[in-house]
Structure 1
């Protein structure tokens, strides 16, 4: 069965089209993908079917349509109809090149070509959510044979993927412990580097989230069109500064290879440096403080009986190290845990943390008393 774009837009305006049911993934199409689909529409080429799950909204006596498959395509037509995106400037028709919907909607021919474009629709009249989830899984299973980063490599060819893959070939990342032969086999080294680059791009700490990383890849595939406040030259300067700073720390006392080769520790140090670039002390000085702190963390992680250990040592001296080590044990890549480690590193490494010590020590004592 076919339904034209006008039908979908009516559903959307009436609040009857649910683009984000719980089994759906986040939007990961790039602007280039969306323009390519608009090209498909205006050339009247066929496209894959849209799968909709029908459900009666008893509160409002109307039908709801949950999108099982086809979300990206429907989002594209909705965005275009709202003039949020434009046609590709090289479509090949002067009436359409680089145009937004508001510029062409009064052209009868173009209006008809867009609104009357038909999409094949498969309706699913199923009440069992387990069955819906199974259908969604089967529709999307073919893409799971590849690692997520391998899928990104196949999908994207823009700015961010080029930077991440370029960086993976730089020798310093191997010295930092991020690139290894095992990770290179399935492009996991590129994924890890992407996570570190994302801190610079978003200027904040992020949790380990594959779908969020997909969003960043989509946003920065063509940053000149989708991230208008992005300054590539500033990004490159900051990246070069960070790599040089870490290299100088390592050259001073091997603090990276001794204490930060674990992924959790290196990400934490990298994020701290990236977010506090203008407040940093010289790398040799910071390397000394970092090594001293991480020795405390290592000592705590090796202890089988922390209570006995802390009775024999000044417990307050180990307060920050204890909280840092605790955040590495469970859910260490969660955003909250990463933010907690960053807060501790700021307290330890920036030096100017009067007033924060009391809070950290109090949190530490409360943790021990549980």
Structure 2
């Protein structure tokens, strides 16, 4: 392999200048077929404006002997650079997901923020005089070092839709669940376990309690491309989680109720009491939803009993079926229905 790789750093204004003078080429031969959706572009620009890191770019460089000018061919990072160039040329405005930047184009940003955008540094691996074969070999070797993506990471990479970003933002907004209650561990969060559980909570709101697992979650992402119900779903999610965390957060954090499969069914029961759920895949007949909750002292007593049962070595007594369902597959509707039933009796007004 007759090529050198040099790690460099350039500013956004460098890329814009190269684009303007024609020395920057977004090589279609290495272009992935998927084109970024507006949500993905928005998230990238938002990250830049907030001075958060983005992945590095790979560029193949060469010098034309006749013109004595450098050529820069982007072989990885094209979608990112396209989005940056389009934003700089006022081709799109930021959406409401960008908070205080919502509705802004590059031309309407404050001058100070424009300067910060232009000065934003991007790490670049420069492949000098590399052939197509050299480039493919580089990526083959890079991929051989990486850990295989799990289902949650694959979904995050594949889908660039309103639904995907809504799930991701909700997981970020409710970081108290992960950081304080420990519902998803730090290690699992690195592999997007928080997004995975959050997507299941979205599913409960949209469909009721159903079978879980990667196939079901993938289907949910595909069915909710544009996600017009976003505001309604977020309202239900926020009010339900708010009620759980405010009154029972400390109890959950110190017991097995914080385990993701338990928390999901606990969330489902609270959600039915406060808002009502669809029948989903449950075999049992649901009582009317949206009737409110039991007295908090009664709920706390019942949840304490369920938590204690989960800690027993041998299940017995009134919670035996609940414990057995907790030790089986937590994704199947058969075991979810049992656990949901116990949680519903714990929180639903009699």
| TM-score scaled by length of structure 1 | 0.46
| TM-score scaled by length of structure 2 | 0.49
